[in-house]
Amino acid sequence: MNYKGIFAEELYKAFEKQMEIKSIIQRIEQPKHEDLGDYAFPCFDLAKVMRMAPNKIANELAPKIQSSIFEKVEAVGPYLNVFLEKKSVASEVVKIIQELGSNYGTTNFGEGGAVTIDLSSPNIAKPFSMGHLRSTVIGNALGLICEKVGYRPIRINHLGDWGTQFGKLITAYRKWGNEAQIRQNTIKELLALYIKFHEEAESDPSLEDEGRKWFKALEEGNQEAVELWKWFREESLQEFNRIYELLGITFDSTNGEAYYNDKMQRVVDLLEEKELLTESEGAMVVELDNLPPCLIKKKDGATLYATRDLAAAVYRHETYDFSEALYVVGNEQSLHFTQVFEVLQKMGYTWAKEMHHITFGMMLKDGKKMSTRKGKVVLLEEVLNEAIELAQQNIEAKNPSLEDKNFVAERIGVGAVIFHDLKNDRRNDIEFSLEDMLRVEGETGPYVQYTNARACSILRKANYKQEGSFQLIEDEEAWPVITRLRGFPKAVERAATEYDPSQVAKYVLDLSRSFNKYYGQVRILEDESQKQARLQLVSAVSIVITEGLRLLGLHAPEAM
Ligand code: ARG
């Protein structure tokens, strides 16, 4: 299927080896317009070598390119354009997709290297924010895409489960807490306790002292404190797990910040050994070039967020021997990660250059940040459930006899939310709109899912079996679909190298649009002589859409 390589070979022969194959391949372009062919070679650089005008070179080369895979070779100005022989290319692509199934586009580019993905990472006893949803969905898709190109993803939920706020929470719970209520409605109740603590502390400053005392007790392993902390953590995690279950996401590790409590001293010692620690107003910091210093220890000896991330990085490198470490965290933590990576560099860890902060923009509602303001919480679970409910209503209105209605509705609703998040460059802010997400006509998950369900329905109607003999497709209208199908491996590769799931999302949208156009132009089941070839194409489309959606974390129901 390496048509570009074949073209390069032909050129190489035609030039009488005056340019190396590698340089030829580098110069071959893909014309923007289909009527300019599938590949083009610009002759400018040869002009010097051959002492001839580029137009003339193109004219002379054209008749020398003679592979049977080219239908037409054409000199257009200084360019040599080639058109692939559509029928044989088409049948080759469809055949390969049928043979490989969901393995189409799979490569061993990553050579089994481990990629740690720090994702989701919500804070215990606090609501799961939109930012955490974005991190979860983007991180999960990156994991699936990495895996597709041969890496071994390791998903780590770096829970925010440590910090002085737990002293406050323990204090508040002992004064006003209610166990049964917390069990029933963990995050809401814990958040209410936390807010009450701050309100009361305004008139009674001794509360702050008590909070500090309890945090100290927690750090020292006081049994009551530790038990409460564990319980808050467990209950919160159970609530988060409901969201993860809906999204269909699992983790390889839920070691949060607390996990590094006994691993930080080593990092502090190492920093000292390497003479990187300096004192600044009683605190210990690492000075950095052109950046604010990285705070390692506060005046009172307490460690910080950055200290934990340093310990976590060292631990992860030792445990997983990663070839890359990704941190899927919002833009606002850019400085933090730049500092952490920089400190690791200074410590002499060459692997620090394989660490990447995968940033993303905010989720906006009516142009404003969706926040968890005091007491007013946007509960993500409610958002997901609402999307599912809307999908359910849609099914009731359009296809009430559908089997497994609830199951399908869940896949559409959740898929809509995920796709909406992934379809744009992750660095952009996105506007949250349930209505937009669920539109069946538009750039949405349901649109792509619906396209696949339509393909599946044709196959069912025709009682299509893959085993049937292979048939050449004759439809000129199929060509744009074929071109898209050929592009899948490239789209996946680009998504992986640019850490950008939107490449895959845009790809499946594009494939869906071109398939729907084909479907509108050609009566697939009418002409017996072409039926098998067309069904084979439809089946290939369904295979690729299903796999593309899977890489984003979506399911592709066979009926909707
Ligand atoms: N818990 C943090 C927050 O909600 C995100 C943690 C990201 N990961 C990390 N290794 N720092 O802001």
Q: What percent of the chain has pLDDT over 90?
A: 83
CB burial class (10 A; 0-12, 13-18, 19+) of residue 241? middle
For residue 520, pLDDT beyond 60: yes
Across the range 499-508, mean pLDDT stands at: 98
Task: Output the 3-class SS for 319-369.
Answer: HHCCCEEEEECCHHHHHHHHHHHHHHHHCCCHHHHHEEEECCCCEEECCEE
Distance 229 CA to ligand 1 centre (A): 19
Q: What is the pLDDT of residues 211-257, one digit of tens each?
A: 999 999 999 999 999 999 999 999 999 999 999 999 999 999 999 99
Model pLDDT, residue 26? 94
Is 123 near ligand 1, meaning CB less than 6 Å away? yes
For residue 447, pLDDT beyond 70: yes
Of 129, 333, 341, the residue with max ligand 1 atoms within 8 A of its CB, to mutate for a pocket test, comes to 333
Model pLDDT, residue 16? 80
546: nearest Cα among 517, 511, 516? 511
CB burial class (10 A; 0-12, 13-18, 19+) of residue 15? middle
pLDDT band at 374 (very low <50, low <70, confident <90, very high): very low
Reduce the DSSP state of residue 29 to 3 states and report it: strand
User: Looking at the DSSP assignment, which residues form a beta bridge with residue 285?
Assistant: 278, 295
pTM: 0.92
For residue 1, pLDDT beyond 80: no
Is 327 near ligand 1, meaning CB less than 6 Å away? yes
504: nearest Cα among 143, 155, 100, 145? 145
Distance 117 CA to ligand 1 centre (A): 12
24: nearest Cα among 82, 69, 88, 86? 82
Task: Output the 3-class SS for 55-107.
Answer: HHHHHHHHHHCCCCCEEEEEEECCEEEEEECHHHHHHHHHHHHHHHHHHCCCC
189 neighbors 178 (Cβ within 8 angstroms)? yes
Nearest CA to ligand 1 atom 6: 121
Fold of 3-84: Gyrase A; domain 2 (3.30.1360)
- Cα-Cα-Cα-Cα torsion 21, 25, 31, 32, nearest 10 degrees, comes to -170
Distance 119 CA to ligand 1 centre (A): 8
Rounded to 5 degrees, φ, ψ at 525 are -95, 0
Distance 259 CA to ligand 1 centre (A): 14
Using CA atoms, how far residue 491 sits from 149, 486, 488, in Å, is 11, 10, 5
Q: What percent of the chain has pLDDT over 70?
A: 98
Nearby residues of 305 by Cβ (< 8 Å), 6 or more positions away = 257, 336
For residue 501, pLDDT beyond 50: yes
- CA 123 to ligand 1: nearest atom: 1
Task: Output the 3-class SS for 433-487.
Answer: CHHHHHCCCCCCHHHHHHHHHHHHHHHHHCCCCCCCCCCCCCCHHHHHHHHHHHH
Poorest-pLDDT segment among 12-21, 432-441, 495-504: 12-21
Distance CA 477, CA 475 (A): 5
User: Looking at the DSSP assignment, which residues form a beta bridge with residue 123?
Assistant: 160
Across the range 302-331, mean pLDDT stands at: 96
For residue 376, pLDDT beyond 80: no
Rounded to 5 degrees, φ, ψ at 76 are -125, 105
For the chain, what are the domain ranges? 3-84, 114-262+305-369, 380-552
Q: Can you read off the two tokens belonging to residue 444?
A: 């949405």
Q: Whole-number mean pLDDT of the chain? A: 93
pLDDT band at 49 (very low <50, low <70, confident <90, very high): confident
DSSP for 279-333?
EETTEEEEEETTEEEEEEE-TTS-B-HHHHHHHHHHHHHHHH--SEEEEE--GGG
Distance 329 CA to ligand 1 centre (A): 7
Q: Please identify which residue in the block is written with the tokens 């290319």.
A: 89
* Count of CB atoms situated within 10 Å of the CB of 60: 15
* Count of CB atoms situated within 10 Å of the CB of 28: 17
Q: Given CATH 3.40.50.620, say whether it is the number of domain 114-262+305-369.
A: yes
Nearest CA to ligand 1 atom 4: 122
Q: What is the pLDDT of residues 98-132, one digit of tens each?
A: 999 999 999 999 999 999 999 999 999 998 888 89
Architecture of domain 380-552: Orthogonal Bundle (1.10)
Q: What is the pLDDT of residues 396-428, one digit of tens each?
A: 999 999 999 999 999 999 999 999 999 999 999
125 neighbors 192 (Cβ within 8 angstroms)? no
Q: What is the pLDDT of residues 451-475, one digit of tens each?
A: 999 999 999 999 998 877 788 888 9
Q: Helices 479-497 & 86-100, crossing angle to 10 degrees?
A: 50
Model pLDDT, residue 375? 46
